[in-house]
Each structure stands twice: as C-alpha cells, then as structure tokens.
C-alpha cells in the first residue's frame, strides 16, 4: 500500500508561490510585484500584480523611473496589492491574509488596512529605509495589522508550461 507524499509544499510556499507567479505577469522592467489574498481558512480569494490601469496601454505609457513625473511610471502604475484588493468581487476581506513579494508602500498599506486584511506576509523589503515603507509599518502597527517576512525555503519549483 502506498503512503502519502511528504514533500508537498507548505501553505506559505503555496501562497507566496502564487503571489510570485502572479508577479510574472507584470510588464514593469525593474520591479515585478505579485500579491495573493487568502481567507482565514486558506482559500485563495484574489491575486494581483503591478501594471497600468485598464485602457492605459503598456506600450504607450512610460516605464521609465526618472525624469518628468508625467513621463515616468509612478503616477500611472496600479500596485499589485491594490489590484488584488480591487479584483476581489466576493464581498468582505475582513480577517484575510495578504501574501506579497515586496513590502507594501504607504498607499497600499492604507488600502490593506481599510479592506480589513489583518496579516501581511512579505518576501523582499528592499525599500525598507524609505519614508513610504516606514509609514506603512507605522500604520500597520497602529491598526493591528500583523506582518512578517516569508521564510524562504529555497525550494525550487519547476513548471513545464
Ligand atoms: O506597494 C507596492 C510598491 C510598489 N509596487 C510596484 C510599483 C512599481 O511598478 C514597482 C516599483 O518600481 P521600482 O522601479 O522598484 O521603483 O513596484 C507595488 O506593486 N506595490
Ligand atoms: Zn503600493
């Protein structure tokens, strides 16, 4: 008789993996961010990645990082976390968890708090010294949103697509 597999992925690997897979849809040449929202009982509710809003062509809007604010990406990109929140059409996100490949900026932090998400699991924190991320942490602390860094397992997942 065969016994059950032991090398299945953990919940955290599963949801961070889905977040990162979602980030692979991003057209941003510098930073691709993916997000996955999960219910308290581990059901995937929504996903998102960073990109321009509907109708704003990836080929016409700018991907630059510098220069004229109207000619760089920052005024136009919808962040992965906000896309994941807005993509959810099922009602309340109260008590949900967010898996995200980059620590949320202050604007996403506000949306996360207001949507009722209570836990944020993040991977990279490369902008941790910026006022934006420092403000996010201050707001999460004040609002009782728990956040912790995903503990990488270095498991490699190969998908033949
Ligand atoms: O909370 C966040 C913060 C940033 N993003 C997106 C927005 C941009 O497309 C990139 C950041 O680009 P850089 O070239 O690294 O400045 O990440 C996000 O989705 N969520
Ligand atoms: Zn953001």
Domain assignment present for residue 2? The answer is: no
Domain assignment present for residue 68? The answer is: no
Overall pTM surpassing 0.90 (yes/no) = yes
Question: Which is the catalytic residue, given 13, 60, 81, 124?
Answer: 81
Structural domains counted in the chain = 1
Domain assignment present for residue 160? The answer is: no
Domain assignment present for residue 154? The answer is: no
Q: Containing domain of residue 124, as a range?
A: 11-51+79-149
* Predicted confidence (pLDDT) at residue 49 exceeds the cutoff of 90: yes
Helix (H) or strand (E) holding 100: strand 97-102
- Mark out the alpha helices in 24-147 (DSSP H runs): 80-87, 106-115, 131-143
Average per-residue pLDDT for the chain: 97
**Band (147; pLDDT cuts 50, 70, 90):** very high
Residues 111 and 139 sit within 8 Å (Cβ to Cβ): no
Active site residue 81: yes
Domain assignment present for residue 110? The answer is: yes
Asked if this assembly's ipTM is beyond 0.85, the reply is: yes
Domain assignment present for residue 136? The answer is: yes
Q: What are the two backbone dihedrals, phi and then psi, of residue 100, each rounded to the nearest 5 degrees?
A: -145, 145
Per-residue pLDDT at 1:
79
Domain assignment present for residue 128? The answer is: yes
Residues 46 and 97 sit within 8 Å (Cβ to Cβ): no
- Residue 116: give its domain's CATH number: 3.40.140.10
Domain assignment present for residue 63? The answer is: no
Distance from the CA of 131 to the center of ligand 1, in angstroms? 14
Say whether 105 counts as a known binding-site residue: yes
Instruction: Report the relative pairing of strands 119-124 and 97-102 from DSSP bridges.
Output: parallel
Angle between helix 106-115 and helix 131-143 axes, rounded to 10 deg:
20
Q: Whose CA is nearest to atom 13 of ligand 1?
A: 31
Percent of the chain past pLDDT 70, that is, above it, reads: 100
Q: What is the mean pLDDT of residues 23-49?
A: 98
pLDDT digits (tens, 9 = 90+) for 56-87: 999 999 999 999 999 999 999 999 999 999 99
pLDDT digits (tens, 9 = 90+) for 106-129: 999 999 999 999 999 999 999 999
Per-residue pLDDT at 160:
96
Per-residue pLDDT at 116:
98
Pocket of ligand 1 (CB under 6 A): 28, 30-31, 33, 50, 65, 73, 77, 79-81, 102, 104-105, 108
Q: What is the mean pLDDT of residues 138-145?
A: 98
């Amino acid at each position: 008789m065969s016994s059950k597999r032991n090398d299945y992925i953990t919940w955290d690997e599963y949801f961070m993996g889905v977040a990162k897979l979602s980030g692979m849809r991003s057209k941003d040449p510098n930073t691709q961010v993916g997000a996955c929202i999960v219910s308290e009982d581990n059901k995937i509710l929504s996903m998102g990645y960073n990109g321009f809003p509907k109708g704003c062509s990836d080929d016409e809007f700018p991907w630059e990082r510098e220069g004229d604010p109207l000619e760089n990406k920052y005024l136009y990109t919808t962040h992965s976390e906000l896309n994941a929140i807005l993509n959810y059409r099922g009602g309340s996100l109260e008590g949900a968890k967010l898996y995200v490949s980059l620590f949320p900026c202050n604007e996403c932090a506000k949306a996360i708090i207001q949507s009722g998400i209570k836990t944020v699991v993040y991977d990279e924190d490369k902008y941790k010294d910026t006022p934006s991320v420092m403000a996010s942490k201050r707001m999460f602390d004040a609002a009782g949103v728990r956040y912790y860094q995903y503990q990488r397992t270095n498991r490699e997942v190969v998908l033949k697509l």
